[in-house]
Structure 1
Amino acid sequence: MSVRNHNQLPNNLPQLQNLIKRDAESYKDEFHQQYQHFISNLEVFKHKPDQYSKTLDELIMFLAQISHCFTKELVDFPQYVKSLLLNYSTTLDPTMRMTMCRALILMRNKGLVPAVDVLELFFQLFRCSDKVLRETLYNYIVSDIQNVNSKHKNAKLNSTLQNFMFDMLKDSNVVAAKKSLDVMIELYRRKVWKDAKTANVISTACFSKVTKIMVAAIKFFLGVDSNDESDSDSDAEDKGSKRNANELLLSHRVGKKTKKRQKRLNRALEVLKKHKKKKKRGELYNFSALHLIHDPQDLSERLFKQLEKCNEYYDVKIMMIDFISRLVGIHQLFLLNFYPYIQKFLQPRTKDVTKVLLFAAQATHDLVPPDLIENLIKTIAYNFITERNSSDAIAVGLNAVKEITARCPHAMTEDLIRDLAQYKNSREKAVSMASRGLIMTVRQLNPSILHKKDRGRITEAMQETELLPYGHPHAKDYLPGAEVLVREKTDSANENGETNEGEDEEFGYIDEVREQNKANEEDEEEDEGEEEVAEKVAEGEEEEEDENNDGWEICSSEEEMDGWSDNDEGWIDVEHSEKEEEVQEMSTVKNKKNKKNKDGINKLQSQKVQISLEEKKKKAQFVSDQKIFSQNDFDKINRALVLKNLDPIQRKRKRDEQALEEEMKERGEILDISTIENIHKKRAHDKDSRLSTVYAGRDEREKFGRSRPKMNPNASKTNKEKKRNKNYMMVKHKLNKKQNKRSFRDKQVALRDALLKKQRTMRK
């Protein structure tokens, strides 16, 4: 008989690991034995680090698992593993390298290794040509830094790692630099390192000589998710869900159609739809990173120099132009050479020309010299808004000019706007709508340069707004529109029956408009009284003339008139009554008054407008100084400002509530491409919209079926109806029979007989 080996612990490491975790002191000798075994194997492994050692692999994981049980004895163990990875990182066997990294991760999770040492080592291991290892380290670094900063920010660790990553971005190894950049972008996206230092470190990567790193940094600032792998995963999930849905529909086609199977299919499709919605992740926008840049002027100038010298692909240049335009527009920078550079891309046949037009509008602001923007607008007008181009190109050009004018009103000249306004009469709806949009924009900013017929009815906002000269600030010491709150207060007081006579005195200004209105009303009453007197006098004269005309004849012929004119040099001496003389005097006085009134109407109106504007300004200033506004107050003020822009002084029709809310949306910092491509025409239906129109047309339509309904709806079905619901295998033998199929000749004969029979019946 063979002697059994009862002590199997030295060879069975998982069992020894389990026992040590339960009672470490009892198995201390076995632990020392395995630790000495590890050191001896380590010395042997250093001579051939490129070969795989199974015993060393198992011993490393064994010691990492029980490291918390013997912390004093295993003080040097993490240092052994780190030295191996540092010295032989590129020559190590991939399996051994992964095992050592997993051992360090395990000890880091137990708090036995400081985070800085492990994370700096892992950043250096990004240089290894092992894709699986790089992905594992990337995920661990991101999750570990997030866990460290979950409860409170660890400023010391963050600053140390950020400085180290800044050095890693300049590393000669492209893969290591790219992975370090991806880590910083992911941490910013997860709001772990969402600070100015991270944004500025990422901005340095925009000047990298490696195109992949430069594009990743620019995409971060443009708000595009640079994680292509996640996009590919989501695409794969979408394809998988579509495939599952198609499989369900295909399986439903086979077999008998029952209500139970249909309900089961609908439930399965709803579950797939919900799962797809959960998996979807919205688009990321990192607009806040643009505001955190310390020196945007220097950054934009350096980027523009790089753009002029670079020989990259067209798509990369477009991304750089987009980034520069956002910097210029948001921070209101002066980059005067950027506008002539972008003009060479403004041709209708240029690739992605709508994006270039968007970038041109994005880079304009009030502080840019109007001459530069005027040349830009003229370039767009000459290249796009011409009769030789298509209607879409003209509409796109008009939309671009509208957005540029909205941001820099001084750039639009009177001759150009009057020329572009003529396109409102175009037969193409896209062109006419774009031209009307441009007219509306100029009408709100500077209506004086428009033709009189294009200015429309005067609104309150048009009276209050005036285009300041170039460079003048638009700062105000009050909140415009705050006078609405005073008006609402007075209205509510009037409804409750309270008097508001002293309200104007409380605010400290004199109601001159009210006095002038009273004076005008008194003048009108006097004029009405004079008119009544004149009418009465005229009626009395007519009565007297009727009495006196009894013995007189009216001269109608020219000869009789000549006879009358021979006496006193052509004059007829007529005696006037006292009433007639009074009427003549009153008419002359009235004519003089009318002339004075006509001359004074314009002065009164202008004075009223000025006084009302001063009133509103004083009320708004008083309310702004004395009150703390709530969100409801801001909503009321915004609504009043919108009504000023929309409603004329003489309002004809009420605006829609939804239209008011849409107009209340402010113009954002980042423009959308839809503002340039806003072409008003009937677009081609996609599948969803086409199906919706099809279903909408079926609502009021009669259902398909037999033309003559059954007399008794509960009657039994015919054999033909029953055959529709039968399985194909049950009726296959009948369909394949030749006697059930007629030849072409038989059909001809049957048609001939039917026509002859019909003809005979018609004769009878």
Structure 2
Amino acid sequence: MVRVNNNQLPENLPQLQNLIKRDPESYSDEFHIQYQHFLSLLGVFALNPSEENKSLDDIVMFIAQVAQCYPEVCKEFPVHLADQLRNYATVLDPAMRNCFVKALILLRNKNLVPALDILELFFQLLRCQDKNLRTFLQTHIVTDIKNMNAKHKDMKLNSSLQNFMYSMLKDANPKAAKMSADIMIELYKKNIWNDPKTVNVIATVGCFSKVTKVLVTSLKFFLGHDEEDEEGSGSDSEKEIDLKGAIMANRVTKKTKKRQKQLQQIKKQAVKAQKKKKNAPAFNFSGIHLIHNPQGMAEGLFKQLQGSNERFEVKLMHLDVISRLIGIHELFLFGYYPYITRFLQPHQRQVTRVMQFAAQASHELVPGDIVEPILKTIANNFITERNSSDVMAIGLNATREICMRCPLAMGQDLLQDLAMYKTYKEKSVMMAARSLISLYREQLPALLHKKDRGRQTEAQAERKVRAYGEREVHDTVLGAEALLKNSKTIDIDSDEDTDSNDGEWVKVDHSDNEGVANQDEDDDDESEDDDDDDGDEEDGEDGEEENDDEESDSDGAAESDPESSTSKEKKNKSLEVKMLNQKEAAQELALTRIFTDEDFKRINAANLKKTVTNARKRPLEQDRSEFVKLNNIEMIYKKRKHDKDSRLETVQAGRQDRERFGWKDGRVNEHCSKTNKEKRKTKNFGMLRHKARSKVKKSFRDKQMALRKHLLHQKKMK
């Protein structure tokens, strides 16, 4: 290899760098000279670290680029840079500080520096008053930890870094603590540090930090605001793509390269959206489920809220996190409910969110006496005729959401009073009241007035009213009785099969003949139901009230006739025995057979059929998720006062007997002729082009007229 003249290399570091990477052994002497020069420059720089040294900047990056070629010589090189950053981090020149940081990152990418040492140093540098540096360090820390855990998670390194982050969150410097919280949250969202330790560090340190920014960041982490904003805003790929409209528009418009490119992009987006719909949804565990001591955290946050002087938005975050903790983990924090009752006023800012928090904090294990004052406060402050219909509807919706999670909180008198709004003149109030009635038809129909209970469905008859604290435990698959029609089940009372098949699988086959017969019977029943449905065209609510009257009449007749009452009791007993036998057979079927997808479809259809009657054409849908949606409270049914035709009539009526809109000229008589100057404004340019060419300069007379006009205008303006 031909060597370059040594006299030129010390002044040309990029060329020397290129040559060293090609042949390190041939240029080792030159590198040693440069390294000694670096040490001397570093000693001079340490005397005045606040000034920029361009020579040191160049030689530091040069050594960082070729350090892998001479690992023994450069063994102390990162130590020197790290010492400079530790000792003079806050007083270093920003350019020199960025140079040292980039050199260390370059060495870390070449695995010449231990990860733990460099990351601890970078966390300490977050205290610097340099926003660009902090952002750069945050990106590098997240990327480096992500790369280290790409193939397999290094639990020892992660544990050491998490312990260091635990101390950084308590740092006195607010910017360093805030950046540390951001890094931990970002690593959790990227599924790198998604373990309970990270969540509990944020819960125990971040949520109780004295720094408001760290506190708000930690509370937002448990609220998941970032995910909700992304879902609510919706990116371009998530929007509805009108592919047919784009193809039709492309047919009738002029074909250009730009439009063809746009059409191709729309097609790609449509294909991508179609694939996204087919993919299975991905579910991530929320951090609030991984808290070790939710009761202690809720009590601590509530105590912090009571003694806080923060903004109202921060207080709302506290209320939101506490309500989610109470609702998800079914906690007991009885002081929370009287505190939140103070904010339940129609004039209160963001009162619908306060109602949402009250509903989220309600669950079945909270005694009804604790939640009942909230319902009474909402009824007194919102559900009164002195308020607008929107306020009344929101109050009824909030009452429904609270009672959906804690049905025992509602008293009989209050429920019957609220149910009377089902005939209110405003549709929004009427629909909200009927939704509350529908809820208690399913949960506790005994609290409703008899005329509001409606016709009892089969599912309501099977449901058992649970007392406070009682849990419903199922010993079989609900609705498995639907499979008994087309299957040969084992006779439970006989012991013939049990002796012969002891310890073996029992084969249960389908009978084609029975299946066809049962299917014909079901079809006949369905056709009869359809005929009944066609004949009944009245509203479901009216039909239910009529059915109630008929039932009340029949009940009265039954009380007067003792023979009919005894026959009714016998019939009920026989039905109970039959249902008990079906339940036992279904339980035995579930134990001896593996259900297929078709079986589960039949079970779901049978369960759905139990929830409807002839008067009620569709099942009641009660969405009981772990989080209360704000839309469920703010949802108001409204009928538009004017459709398009009526609005156009109003517009046309307003235009009558009104002067024509537009520019008005100065003529007294609008039918008289216009001046040549006014006519010139409406003429085609082709008719005036020859005049514009021939008369380039103004005459003295035109200048006089223009000046006179200008002076008169100025006089009027004064």
Shorter-chain-normalised TM-score: which range?
A: 0.7 to 0.9
**TM-score, normalised with respect to structure 2:** 0.73
Q: 1:436 to 1:191 in 2, by over 3 A?
A: same
Contact residue 21 and residue 66 of structure 2 kept, 8 A: yes
Counterpart position of 1:758: none
Contact residue 642 and residue 664 of structure 1 kept, 8 A: no
- Secondary structure in 2 matching 1:119: helix
Counterpart position of 1:565: none
Q: 1:21 to 1:84 in 2, by over 3 A?
A: same
- Secondary structure in 2 matching 1:387: coil
Contact residue 485 and residue 515 of structure 2 kept, 8 A: no
Which of 674, 682, 688 is the equivalent residue of 2:631? 674
1:208 aligns with 2:209: yes
Aligned-pair distance for 1:99? Answer: 0.7
User: Structure 1: how far apart are the matches of 2:319 and 2:200?
Assistant: 19
Counterpart position of 1:469: 467
Q: 1:272 to 1:636 in 2, by over 3 A?
A: closer
Counterpart position of 1:308: 306
- What is the Cα-based RMSD across aligned positions, in Å? 3.8
Contact residue 382 and residue 391 of structure 2 kept, 8 A: yes
1:674 alignment partner AA: N
User: Structure 2: how far apart are the matches of 1:641 and 1:276?
Assistant: 37
User: Structure 2: how far apart are the matches of 1:226 and 1:489?
Assistant: 48
1:108 aligns with 2:108: yes
Counterpart position of 1:615: 581
Counterpart position of 1:166: 166
Aligned-pair distance for 1:421? Answer: 0.7
User: Structure 2: how far apart are the matches of 1:48 and 1:639?
Assistant: 82
- What are the residue-to-residue correspondences of 1:94-173 with 2, within 5 Å? 94-173=94-173
Q: 1:684 to 1:153 in 2, by over 3 A?
A: farther
Q: 1:498 to 1:31 in 2, by over 3 A?
A: closer
Aligned-pair distance for 1:489? Answer: 3.5
User: Structure 2: how far apart are the matches of 1:139 and 1:475?
Assistant: 50
- Secondary structure in 2 matching 1:10: helix
Q: 1:19 to 1:498 in 2, by over 3 A?
A: closer
- Secondary structure in 2 matching 1:328: helix
Contact residue 298 and residue 325 of structure 2 kept, 8 A: yes
User: Structure 2: how far apart are the matches of 1:259 and 1:473?
Assistant: 66
1:260 alignment partner AA: K
Contact residue 493 and residue 499 of structure 1 kept, 8 A: no
- Secondary structure in 2 matching 1:209: coil
Q: 1:331 to 1:632 in 2, by over 3 A?
A: farther
Summarize deviations over 1:461-495 as a string: whole Å, max 9, x none.
11011222212222233332232333453799564
- Secondary structure in 2 matching 1:676: helix
Counterpart position of 1:576: none
User: Structure 1: how far apart are the matches of 2:217 and 2:65?
Assistant: 39
Counterpart position of 1:540: none
Counterpart position of 2:513: 496
User: Structure 2: how far apart are the matches of 1:211 and 1:261?
Assistant: 58
Aligned-pair distance for 1:452? Answer: 1.3
Aligned-pair distance for 1:303? Answer: 0.4
Aligned-pair distance for 1:290? Answer: 0.8
Aligned-pair distance for 1:629? Answer: 4.7
User: Structure 1: how far apart are the matches of 2:461 and 2:610?
Assistant: 10
User: Structure 2: how far apart are the matches of 1:671 and 1:634?
Assistant: 29
Q: 1:731 to 1:118 in 2, by over 3 A?
A: same
Aligned-pair distance for 1:271? Answer: 4.7
Summarize deviations over 1:153-204 as a string: whole Å, max 9, x none.
1101100000000000000000000000000000001111111001101112
Counterpart position of 1:423: 421
Aligned-pair distance for 1:140? Answer: 0.4
Contact residue 439 and residue 622 of structure 2 kept, 8 A: no
Which of 379, 382, 385 is the equivalent residue of 1:381? 379
Summarize deviations over 1:499-554 as a string: whole Å, max 9, x none.
999xxxxxxxxxxxxxxxxxxxxxxxxxxxxxxxxxxxxxxxxxxxxxxxxxxxxx
User: Structure 2: how far apart are the matches of 1:56 and 1:449?
Assistant: 84
Counterpart position of 2:568: 602
1:443 alignment partner AA: R
Aligned-pair distance for 1:372? Answer: 1.0
User: Structure 1: how far apart are the matches of 2:688 and 2:639?
Assistant: 48
Contact residue 639 and residue 664 of structure 1 kept, 8 A: no
Aligned-pair distance for 1:729? Answer: 13
Aligned-pair distance for 1:669? Answer: 0.7
- What are the residue-to-residue correspondences of 1:521-600 with 2, within 5 Å? 597-600=563-566
User: Structure 2: how far apart are the matches of 1:17 and 1:348?
Assistant: 73
Aligned-pair distance for 1:612? Answer: 4.2
Aligned-pair distance for 1:737? Answer: 13
Aligned-pair distance for 1:40? Answer: 0.7
Q: 1:434 to 1:664 in 2, by over 3 A?
A: closer
User: Structure 2: how far apart are the matches of 1:203 and 1:197?
Assistant: 10
Q: 1:676 to 1:91 in 2, by over 3 A?
A: same
2:225 alignment partner AA: V
- What are the residue-to-residue correspondences of 1:632-651 with 2, within 5 Å? 633-645=599-611, 647-648=612-613, 651=614
User: Structure 2: how far apart are the matches of 1:452 and 1:296?
Assistant: 42
1:38 aligns with 2:38: yes
1:732 aligns with 2:685: yes
Name the larger-Rg structure: 1
Q: 1:318 to 1:5 in 2, by over 3 A?
A: same
- Secondary structure in 2 matching 1:128: coil
1:61 alignment partner AA: M
2:66 alignment partner AA: I
Counterpart position of 1:13: 13
User: Structure 1: how far apart are the matches of 2:283 and 2:385?
Assistant: 39
Moved more, 54-63 or 487-496: 487-496
Summarize deviations over 1:383-406 as a string: whole Å, max 9, x none.
111111111111111111111111
1:448 aligns with 2:453: no
User: Structure 2: how far apart are the matches of 1:426 and 1:92?
Assistant: 73
Q: 1:206 to 1:498 in 2, by over 3 A?
A: closer
Contact residue 216 and residue 226 of structure 1 kept, 8 A: no
User: Structure 1: how far apart are the matches of 2:75 and 2:14?
Assistant: 22
Summarize deviations over 1:42-94 as a string: whole Å, max 9, x none.
11111011111111111110111001100111111111111111011011111
Summarize deviations over 1:370-419 as a string: whole Å, max 9, x none.
10111111111111111111111111111111111111111112111111
User: Structure 2: how far apart are the matches of 1:612 and 1:289?
Assistant: 48
Contact residue 464 and residue 613 of structure 1 kept, 8 A: no
Aligned-pair distance for 1:625? Answer: 3.3
Aligned-pair distance for 1:637? Answer: 3.4
Contact residue 419 and residue 433 of structure 2 kept, 8 A: yes
Contact residue 404 and residue 624 of structure 2 kept, 8 A: no
Identity value in percent: 50
User: Structure 2: how far apart are the matches of 1:596 and 1:208?
Assistant: 74
Name stretches of at least 5 consecutive residues in structure 2 with no aligned partner.
237-251, 277-281, 490-508, 519-559, 649-680, 692-718
Moved more, 5-14 or 193-202: 5-14
- Secondary structure in 2 matching 1:74: helix
Q: 1:736 to 1:215 in 2, by over 3 A?
A: farther
User: Structure 1: how far apart are the matches of 2:227 and 2:166?
Assistant: 19
Counterpart position of 1:545: none
User: Structure 2: how far apart are the matches of 1:262 and 1:498?
Assistant: 62
- Secondary structure in 2 matching 1:66: helix
Contact residue 65 and residue 106 of structure 2 kept, 8 A: yes
- Secondary structure in 2 matching 1:68: helix
Q: How many residues align?
A: 572
User: Structure 2: how far apart are the matches of 1:737 and 1:387?
Assistant: 77
Contact residue 222 and residue 287 of structure 1 kept, 8 A: no
